[in-house]
Amino acid sequence: MSKLVNPHGSAHLKPLLLEGKEREQEIAKAKSLKKVPMTSRETSDLIMIGIGAFTPIEGFMGRDDWKGVCDDYRLVSHKGLFWPIPITLSASKAMGDSIGKGEEVALWDTETDALMGTMKVAEKYGIDKEHECKQVFRTTDSKHPCVQKVMEQAEVNLAGQVKVVSESYYPEMFKGIYQRPAEARQVFQERSWSTVAALQLRNPMHQSHAYLAWIAVEVCDGIYIHQLVGKLKEGDIPADVRVKAIQVLVDNYFRKERVVQGGYPMEMRYAGPREALLHAVFRQNYGCSHLIVGRDHAGVGDYYGPFDAQKIFHEIPRDALELKPLPLDWTFYCYKCESMASMKTCPHEDKAVIDENGQYKGGARLMLSGTMLRKLMSEGKHVPKEFSRPEVIAVLKEYYDHLEQKVEIKLHGHATGAAKK
């Protein structure tokens, strides 16, 4: 009998990915159905539904669920079950008008021009996009990368139960990393783990990430380094490069029996606190008992306070999730302590000074962040050895040396240590 946490809102995972003859029949049927084009975010959400990562959701949300999730973190269709972010599918008004209630449609990925699944349309409705942005992102600023995406959605939302026939290119491109929740659970059970801490990653692991992982291993049976391999914003490091950089760190600095790596296909929303809750929901489905929540989890720019993602777990009902947050303070390298440290442990408050050649000039705390690492690498500057392991820097240097068009990386307060709690 499994010692792992239960899937969210269910005793069992609910994958909707068809296989074998059933899949072949659905693909054949889809040829005669109207094509509904999907954005990359909608496609990745469909895959998450398909593999059971969004258990117990069985399709794209209707209006009552959309409103319940936006306003109260609740799924009306599942007796008020906790859910933090709407999972919706939009279509043009013309497309919506052409589809009858109860009609089946083919769900088509516009980026790869491929059939991803089918849906029986149960509802068509409009939404207040600004309201969703205010609730989910806490802003309507179009400079927020995903506020813009929501505002650009088509006019009508389509809702209904889905059947999924494809995981796109993820299983092949990220072979050995990409995992379904059932596969991760099986690995944890084979290792007799009952407590598993998930480390959310969208950046290569620098020393702060590694430090958080090592702390988690001290209090749990193991660490699940769970990498996002879906789409990111411009300027972020591509998934294949990140996977390689993380692998060299794990190979050289982790005990093999205490770490498992995995990849998931969701697209980042950069929704800060709300996205931290979504990360918790699907990590529970993957079998994790804890989620590491550090500084500026799933944030972007200065839209959220550096620890808002920790605070929000105290604002939701105690029984909302079986998974629990593992809140960890701001971590950094301290030249006076001569080790990694955190705000809770280090008494030296002066900021370290590093010159353009990466040489230490004085002070104590060297603040580490993925944004700062990307900026140093993209500008061809030396990265202090205290910032990241040489094996990781070598992988990133190879990527940036061959990058034809470089994107300017702008630092925000949370990346430099300027922001306050």
| Residues annotated as part of the active site | 202-203
Q: How far apart are CA 374 and CA 299, in angstroms?
A: 16
Rg for the chain, CA atoms, rounded: 22
Q: How far apart are CA 15 and CA 53, in angstroms?
A: 8
Q: Quickly count: other Cβ atoms within 10 Å of residue 272's Cβ.
A: 26
Amino acid code (one letter) for 208:
S
Contacts of residue 134, defined as CB under 8 A and 6 or more positions apart, other chains included, come to 140
Instruction: State yes or no: cis peptide before 15, omega within 30 of 0.
Output: no
Q: How far apart are CA 269 and CA 159, in angstroms?
A: 20
Q: Which residues pair with 38 in a beta bridge?
A: 109
Contacts of residue 372, defined as CB under 8 A and 6 or more positions apart, other chains included, come to 387, 411, 415, 416
Which residue has 């629990």 as its token pair? Answer: 324
Instruction: State yes or no: cis peptide before 204, omega within 30 of 0.
Output: no
End-to-end CA distance of the chain: 42
Q: Quickly count: other Cβ atoms within 10 Å of residue 115's Cβ.
A: 18
CA-to-CA dists, residue 286 to 53, 60, 283, 339, 362, angstroms = 7, 21, 5, 33, 44
Give SS3 for 418.
coil
Q: How far apart are CA 238 and CA 231, in angstroms?
A: 8
Q: How far apart are CA 72 and CA 69, in angstroms?
A: 6
Q: Which residues pair with 353 in a beta bridge?
A: 362
Give SS3 for 420.
coil
Amino acid code (one letter) for 73:
Y
Q: Which two tokens stand for residue 157?
A: 């939302």
